[in-house]
Amino acid sequence: MAVKIVIWPAIPLIGLLLVAAACGGGSSGGDPEQLLARMVLRLDDLPAGYSEDPGEYSENEDIALGDEEELARLEAQGRILGYDTAFNRGDVSEQEAPFVGVDSAVSLYEDAGGAGESWDQAAEEARSTDWEASLGFGETKVEEVDREIADETLWLRVTGLVELGEEQTPVLVMDDQIILRQGRARGYLRVFSAMEGSGDRSALIDEVASLAERQLQRMNEAVGD
């Protein structure tokens, strides 16, 4: 039986910040929209059983929300444009489709320096977040997964326990937040999983890493640096 859980659609504040930071706007030569759409995960990168939400582009003005200082910082980093898409599991079991939901975002910068500054900021925000308060899991544990996937990588795995249904069935939840910087592109990958009756907080590590490596491959194929 597939675990039904409603935490995934309500992306916590830090997730929104990371996705927004991966979706800066501006203009540059070439066709950034086509490049960005090629750099995120696609439906055929996931096992069968998922549907894809419509992707969205975002500009610096959308992120700054009228904050002129924030807008100036985004422009100083040389953000060009960003793109975000998400995938949700349908009515299938976790054996068929192990992830409850996947969010894949990427942003393009004028150069690697600007992308690196953005990565530094996002990494600092992620490390300083009170994940227990943000996600509301019981027995919350936050770990940095030691995987060098891209030029710069931060992988935080947040795990905890929730109890579902009248019988208060224990479910292990795993929220993987991965920030990648490769050349002048910066990616964000969020993978949310839930396993009924499991206590293995390292479960699905290799499967999540495979998705991150696939996104990195798409980023390399698009920008080639």
pLDDT in tens, 137-167: 889 999 999 999 999 999 999 999 988 877 8
Q: Note the pLDDT of residue 141.
A: 96
Q: What is the dihedral of CA 79, 72, 27, 108, to 10 degrees?
A: 0
Q: Note the pLDDT of residue 58.
A: 86
Q: Note the pLDDT of residue 61.
A: 87
CA distance 94 to 3: 7
Partners of 191 in beta bridges: 102, 176
| 21 closest CA partner among 222, 132, 181 | 181
Own/partner pairs for 134-140, CB < 8 Å, 24+ apart? Answer: 134/12, 134/13, 134/14, 135/7, 135/12, 135/160, 135/175, 137/161, 137/162, 137/173, 138/162, 138/163
Indicate the pLDDT class of residue 69, thresholds 50, 70 and 90.
very high
Q: What is the dihedral of CA 106, 186, 44, 171, to 10 degrees?
A: -90
DSSP 178-212: EEEEETTEEEEEEEEEEEET---TTTTHHHHHHHH
Quick check: 15 pLDDT over 60?
Answer: no
Task: Name the token pair of 204.
Answer: 């699905």
Quick check: 133 pLDDT over 60?
Answer: yes
Indicate the pLDDT class of residue 119, thresholds 50, 70 and 90.
very high
Cα–Cα distance list, 19 to 56, 93, 157 (Å) = 11, 28, 17
Residue showing tokens 């996705």: 19
Q: What is the mean pLDDT of the chain?
A: 87
Exposed/middle/buried for residue 122 (C-beta within 10 Å: 0-12, 13-18, 19+): buried
Indicate the pLDDT class of residue 136, thresholds 50, 70 and 90.
confident
Helix (H, G, I), strand (E, B) or coil at 88: strand
Quick check: 11 pLDDT over 60?
Answer: no
Domain ranges in the chain? 13-223
Task: Name the token pair of 116.
Answer: 């690196």
The CATH architecture to which 13-223 belongs is 3-Layer(aba) Sandwich (3.40)
Quick check: 209 pLDDT over 90?
Answer: yes
Q: Note the pLDDT of residue 18.
A: 53
Number of H-type helices and E-type strands within the chain: 7, 8
